[in-house]
Chains A and B, each alone.
Chain A
Amino acid sequence: MSQAPAPAAPPAPERPLPTPTRESQTYWDGMREGRFLLQYCSSCGRVRHYPRPVCPHCFSMESEFREAPLGGSLHAWTVCHHPFNFFFKASAPYIVALVDMDAGVRVNAQLHGIPESELKIGRRVKLGFEPVNKEVTLPVFVAE
């Protein structure tokens, strides 16, 4: 009796990656260089995130990206147990922290090195940079 051939191993799940837009390309370029670049209105000077074409305060379409401070405080978080995308199965459970950056915007990123039991609103954290391949670096939070 012949044996059924072993089933082929399923392809390894791939990490979802950002597809930068014309508006956000500079932000992602900054990430790759280890710089936290935010978009500031050239007319009224206010910051906006995520990157977009028009300042919602003064309606200017002129803007510039500048390096922003990396500190922030915890606004909210979740601990992801169920991997809705199979790429994250191996690393679950992981913490995703929503942080009020000192620069005046919020950033969502995984939080590394701080146990769940030590999380509370207002806890200080710092944005770091985690390269995932040659082109893409993602933000990550660590203890300040």
Chain B
Amino acid sequence: MVHPLRDKAAVSGIGETAYTRGTTKSGLALQLEASLKALDDAGIHPRDVDGVIPYFPGGAIAEDFIANLGLKDLTLSAFIPMGGATCTAAIQMAAMAVTTGVCKHVLISVGRTGYSGSRVSTRLQQFPVFAQAAEFEAPIGMFAPAQLYAQGARRHMELYGTTARQFAEVAVVTRQHAILNGNVVMNKPLTVEDHHASRMISDPFRLFDCSLESDGGAAVIVSATERAKDLRKPLVTIAGVAEGHPDSPASIAQRPDILEFGLVKSAPRAYAMAGVGPKDIDVAEIYDCFTFTVIRQLEILGFCKTGEGGPFVMDGRIALGGELPINTHGGLLSQGHVVGLNHVIELTRQLRGEAGKAQVKDAETGLVTGYGDMGDGSIAILRRAA
């Protein structure tokens, strides 16, 4: 049986601000600026938005959208507290809302002052899921994601021989793609030597294995496919979408396998919903909070076997022109950190044929992942309408 959500909803509008280090704007203003751009991109009047899913905790609540956009009858207001998995998980909720008729157009937005506002260790104290880490791990000197996720990366290296050279490849290729995009924080070439010479943050993660602390806003509109057909831009449908939560979700330490993320559960569901497999994917925007996180997700997504993610990223395979181009916009590592909503935006551009110098030729089907909050994993498979 065809899944009732397959292709029934679409990404109808996308918008983003400049990605910078330093801004005088609030997180709310950044979200609203991106939202207005996304509405204009879709050709939707702001008053026609009837669902909002702002990033939590991102400095905006549904009431802000009612007040600023003059929304007259909001029918859905939700937060999805899944850290980096939030934005792609929000695609699932939005698709459910527009497919069932609860909403016409759902706005998903992120506004972040990760550089000019509070930094990661402070922000995380607002996350309920970090309560156990705060009690049991912060006192021993481990709380930031770079520390919490480093143990898994080290274990992968020890078990499978994954190397820092392979981590560097992810960083270098991502930077090449960022330079083609232009709206990025990091716009200078990066070499393997630069990566290896960057300071150690939490072994095995060096500075250039880590995503950026940056400022910026991003927004996406999800509409029913029936409505989106008549909107401004080429139709990009949501073929499959899913969220997944790992066992022992709030404590990596107690997880039976510390290398099993929520994506282990969500990826098979999304592929089945879309009726496609890894071989059908033309381009992939993989949540890249850390270089290693990309390598491990490529394994979980079935592009290679567990343990083979390191060799998989080498030899140009993940670069534009390669077998599986990834993070064609520069990702969180080089473009900017808006919790992966920039990945959804880039995939939509690729499938519309609007990706400029980074365009993957004839991209028809692509996927985007989210990863966060200790390992929640979300995935959306989008495709260009035939």
Contact = CB atoms under 8 A, between A and B. Distances in A.
Interface of A: 15-21, 24, 49-50, 75-85, 87-88, 91, 93-94, 96, 98, 105-110, 116, 120-121, 132, 136, 138-139
Q: Which 8 A-B pairs have the closest CB atoms?
A: A78-B150, A79-B203, A76-B151, A76-B155, A84-B144, A16-B138, A81-B200, A82-B201
B143 A85 contact: yes
Contacts of B150: 78
B151 A96 contact: yes
A107 B253 contact: yes
Given A76-B155, A81-B201, A96-B147, 13 more contacts: A16-B138, A18-B139, A76-B158, A76-B258, A79-B202, A81-B202, A81-B203, A84-B146, A85-B121, A98-B253, A108-B142, A116-B203, A121-B158
B248 to A, nearest CB: 9
B140 interface: yes
Interface in B99-128: 120-121
A83 B121 CA distance: 11
B47 to A, nearest CB: 44
B251 interface: yes
A108 B121 contact: no
Chain B contact residues, majority secondary structure? helix
B371 to A, nearest CB: 18
A39 to B, nearest CB: 12
Contacts of A108: 136-137, 140, 142, 253
A73 to B, nearest CB: 13
B140 A84 contact: no
A75 B152 CA distance: 9
B132 interface: yes
Contacts of B134: 16, 19
Given A78-B203, A80-B147, A82-B202, A109 B140 contact: yes
B142 A78 contact: yes
A76 B203 contact: no
Contacts of B151: 75-78, 96, 98
Nearest to B152: A76
Looking at B120, B140, B203, the one whose CB has the most chain A CB atoms below 10 A away is B140
Nearest to B124: A84
Contacts of B147: 78, 80, 84, 96
Contacts of A18: 135-136, 139
Given A24-B135, A88-B141, A110-B141, A49 B254 contact: yes
Looking at B120, B155, B258, the one whose CB has the most chain A CB atoms below 10 A away is B155
A105 B135 CA distance: 17
A120 B158 contact: yes
B1 interface: no
A100 B324 CA distance: 37
B154 interface: yes
Looking at B121, B139, B147, B202, the one whose CB has the most chain A CB atoms below 10 A away is B139
Given A78-B147, A79-B203, A121-B159, A16 B254 contact: no
Interface in B135-194: 135-144, 146-147, 150-152, 154-155, 158-159
A58 B204 CA distance: 39
Contact of A82 (B139, B146, B204): B146
A80 B149 CA distance: 12
Contact of B141 (A19, A80, A98, A105): A80
